Amino acid sequence: MRVAVLAALLATAAAPVPQQQSLGATNYAVDAPMRAPSGRPSFVDEFAQPTIDARRWRFDTSRNEAGWFNNEKQYYAHPGRRENARVERGALVIEARRETLDKAKVPDWGGQAYTSAKLISRQALGYGFYEVRAQLPCGRGAWPAIWLLPEGGTWPDQGEIDLMEMVGWDPNVIHATLHSGAFNHRLGTQRGAQKTVPTACTAFHRYQLDWTPQAITIGVDGRAYMRVGNDQPGGHAAWPFERPFQLILNLAIGGDWGGQKGVDDAAFPQAMRVDYVRYWKR
């Protein structure tokens, strides 16, 4: 359900619970163990340094003046704006605030009433195991996400992997979703599952992705809750997940999904905290 770039870009778990394999199938729930590999990750940020590592992350500010997709309401900060993105007590903090900016000082401000941040890995990552330990914000209107997109091409044809999404009006319910040309929310055919994590907003949890040529499995805290197999029901339109994608961490405000029940201004500021990002390449 995460489509923030429509025009601009655009060890595997056990077998899934049997289900209908059709363009209309949206529930790909499983209950199976997930375990992170042993050994040193290929890409890692423990956020032990005092500032955000510019060698690992870039800030996406490309749609600030024009406005972001999905009718989202935030302005995304540039590097150095600590109000929205910083390292604090060994964790990355992405903070959304209710505030207006001065266009004379911030030329790309598009009139938004909220500020936040969106970080993208400079390195494109691919097949492998991902683990992001994070604590989520639960204010109504908040829309935190950990997701992956390829660089270039059009959405949804090139694919999108939503490792974790949550909307503040439905707190503690996390979503895992895949989008492609044949399977996407515009058609109502997106493939995914959801899970309730009762302490998602008050504690850190390990959000996990196991991506292989045969399947994409997503889970939390060592337990898979979604798995989609590469059964090729429609070629590239069904399975474009064959090249490296970039990892994205962001906190959107409002939008078609996140803002379905409005935005509670009194709940801000809201923050997503990320303890670490780890990726083991296959």
Q: What is the CATH number of the domain that holds 251?
A: 2.60.120.200
Q: Which of 65, 131, 160, 242 is catalytic?
A: 160
Residue-wise pLDDT for 222-245, tens only, equals 999 999 999 766 899 999 999 999
- Whether 127 is in a domain gets the answer yes
Band the pLDDT of 10: cuts 50, 70, 90.
Answer: very low
Contact by Cβ (8 Å): 276, 133: yes
- The verdict on residue 6 lying in a domain is no
Enclosing H/E stretch for 260: none
Whether residue 2 is contained in a domain is answered as no
- Largest Cα span, the chain: 58
For residue 2, give both structure tokens. 């995460």
Question: For the ranges 7-11, 44-48, 195-199, which has the lowest average pLDDT?
Answer: 7-11
3 pLDDT band (50/70/90 cuts)?
A: very low
Provide the pLDDT for residue 13. Answer: 32
pLDDT at residue 11, as a whole number: 33
> Which amino acid does the sequence have at 189?
T
Q: Calculate the alpha carbon distances from 271 to 33, 74, 198, 208 in Å.
A: 29, 14, 18, 20
Which of 65, 72, 165, 242 is flagged as catalytic? 165
Q: What angle do CA 209, 213, 214 make, to 5 degrees?
A: 85
Q: Is 4 within the bounds of a domain?
A: no
User: How many domains are contained in the chain?
Assistant: 1
Q: Are strands 173-179 and 160-165 parallel, antiparallel or unpaired?
A: antiparallel
End-to-end Cα spacing for the chain: 27
Kindly state the average pLDDT of the residues 53-76.
98
Q: Between 197 and 3, whose confidence is greater?
A: 197
Q: What is the mean pLDDT of residues 191-218?
A: 97
Tokens of 169: 């009006």
Residue closest to 206 by CA, chosen among 137, 282, 130: 130
Average pLDDT over residues 106-115: 98
Q: Which domain covers residue 179, as residue numbers?
A: 29-281
23 domain-assigned: no
Q: Return the pLDDT at 23.
A: 37
- Mean of per-residue pLDDT scores for the chain: 91
9 is a domain residue: no
- 181 occurs within a structural domain: yes
Q: pLDDT confidence of 143, banded at 50, 70, 90? A: very high
Is 160 marked active-site? yes
Q: Which of 11-25, 113-127, 215-229, 238-252 is predicted least confidently?
A: 11-25
Contacting residues for 25 by C-beta, under 8 A, at least 6 apart = 19, 189, 191
95 an active-site residue? no
